[in-house]
């Protein structure tokens, strides 16, 4: 084993043949070598003394007993410092108020979230599907709730004033000419039905008035003790089954026409008022296609009865402004007569 030289400056072991310290670079001198030699000599002397002592006592040299592994020691428990007296905060009413506000805010948030989900499902989602279907050309059927109809209040009709007819009808006897003819509580179809008059029965006419909804006369009769009204078009009176207007019978033209029947087709009618509408068909429900004013005259190509107005009137087919149209007979003059015709028979207002 080679000797080591200990540097006197940094105590670094160096080989005996080293000139400088490998750690600090100090030049090794004889002083450093002497230190090593002295150390070795002292160590040898100590061994000799121990051997001599053991030999005298006839005791074997002490053997170092193997050290048993010690279990890991738990770190010592450091006691906590004693609690220092502090200040206790008593929230009191402030704490209760804060808790109440937290509950209210939570309920509001839950309500808003539920409402948003309901709106998304019932409003946003269907509308989005409709837009998508329209864009892509799909067709879906969405069920919509059927609204419950509200009950319609029963309207009590106002009795129409009795008008005195121009001919003697009151007191005559009429015969029911229609099966299942309805009789009503007043002169018009807007009144309630009170029964049906059997076909073939005869009833005396107690009164006669003009209806506002059909334009025909209505007869007041006594049907088995019940005072009621029946339309003149449902009975036969003096051989006439077409009803009456203002007490005058309306008869369709036939070979045995009366003196009131006038020739219409091919005749010329004269307009005696301004702003008269010309329509595309025989009735006020047809579209207006123009107007004619006073002084104009037109040839009649055809005529048809219209029963939708207050009083039935014939409508005349004329040619005006390059097209055919229809005009009411009540606004023209034909053979000096201005009240119009019904079924080709003059009507007197």
Distance CA 283, CA 64 (A): 140
CATH of 268-346, one of 3.40.50.10300, 3.40.50.720, 2.30.30.40, 2.40.128.130: 2.30.30.40
**How confident is the model over 250-295, as pLDDT tens digits?**
754 443 444 455 678 888 899 988 888 999 998 888 999 999 998 8
Q: Do domains 173-249 and 268-346 have the same CATH topology?
A: yes
Question: In the beta sheet, which residues pair with residue 231?
Answer: 218
18-39 average pLDDT score:
66
pTM of the model: 0.32
Give the start-end residues of each E strand in 93-216. Answer: 173-176, 181-184, 193-197, 202-204, 207-210
CA angle, 269 as apex, 287 and 312 as ends, to 5°? 55
Annotated domain spans of the chain: 4-56, 173-249, 268-346
Of residues 28 and 115, more confidence is placed in 115
Q: What pLDDT, on a 0 to 100 scale, did the predictor assign at position 220?
A: 93
Residues 6+ apart with CB under 8 A from 22: 12, 14
Quick one: how far is CA 251 from the chain centroid?
56
- The backbone region for 3, taken as left when phi is positive above 0, alpha when psi lies in -120 to 50, beta otherwise, is beta
Q: What pLDDT, on a 0 to 100 scale, did the predictor assign at position 318?
A: 93
Q: Report strand pairing: 202-204 vs 173-176.
A: antiparallel
- Can you give the length of the chain in residues? 349
pLDDT band at 84; cut points 50, 70, 90: low
CATH fold, domain 173-249, is: SH3 type barrels. (2.30.30)
Cβ atoms 142, 132 nearer than 8 A: no
Q: What pLDDT, on a 0 to 100 scale, did the predictor assign at position 300?
A: 92
Q: 10 Å Cβ neighbour count for 180?
A: 10
């Amino acid at each position: 084993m080679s000797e080591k030289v200990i540097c006197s400056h940094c105590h670094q072991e160096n080989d005996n043949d080293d000139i400088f310290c490998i750690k600090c670079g100090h030049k090794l001198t004889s002083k450093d070598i002497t230190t090593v030699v002295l150390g070795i000599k002292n160590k040898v002397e100590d061994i000799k003394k121990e051997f001599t002592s053991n030999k005298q006592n006839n005791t074997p040299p002490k053997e170092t007993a193997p050290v048993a592994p010690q279990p890991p020691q738990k770190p010592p428990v450091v006691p906590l410092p004693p609690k220092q007296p502090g200040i206790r905060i008593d929230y009191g009413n402030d704490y209760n108020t804060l808790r109440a506000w937290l509950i209210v805010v939570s309920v509001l948030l839950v309500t808003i979230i539920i409402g948003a989900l309901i709106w998304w499902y019932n409003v946003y989602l269907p509308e989005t599907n409709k837009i998508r279907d329209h864009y892509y050309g799909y067709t879906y059927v969405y069920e919509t709730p059927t609204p419950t109809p509200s009950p319609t209040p029963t309207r009590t009709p106002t009795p129409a004033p009795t008008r005195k007819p121009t001919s003697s009808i009151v007191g005559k006897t009429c015969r029911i000419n229609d099966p299942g003819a309805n009789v009503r509580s007043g002169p018009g179809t807007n009144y309630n039905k009170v029964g049906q008059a059997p076909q073939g029965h005869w009833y005396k006419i107690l009164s006669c008035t003009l209806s506002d909804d059909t334009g025909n006369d209505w007869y007041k009769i006594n049907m088995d003790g019940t005072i009621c009204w029946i339309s003149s078009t449902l009975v036969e009176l003096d051989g006439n089954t077409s009803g009456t207007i203002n007490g005058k019978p309306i008869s369709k033209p036939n070979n045995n026409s009366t003196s009131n029947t006038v020739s219409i087709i091919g005749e010329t009618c004269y307009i005696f008022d301004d702003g008269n509408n010309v329509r595309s068909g025989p009735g006020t429900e047809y579209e207006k296609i123009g107007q004619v004013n006073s002084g104009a005259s037109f040839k009649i190509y055809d005529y048809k009865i219209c029963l939708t107005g207050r009083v039935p009137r014939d409508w005349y087919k004329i040619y005006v402004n390059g097209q055919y149209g229809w005009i009411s007979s009540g606004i023209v003059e034909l053979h000096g007569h201005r009240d119009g015709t019904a079924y080709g028979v003059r009507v007197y207002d």
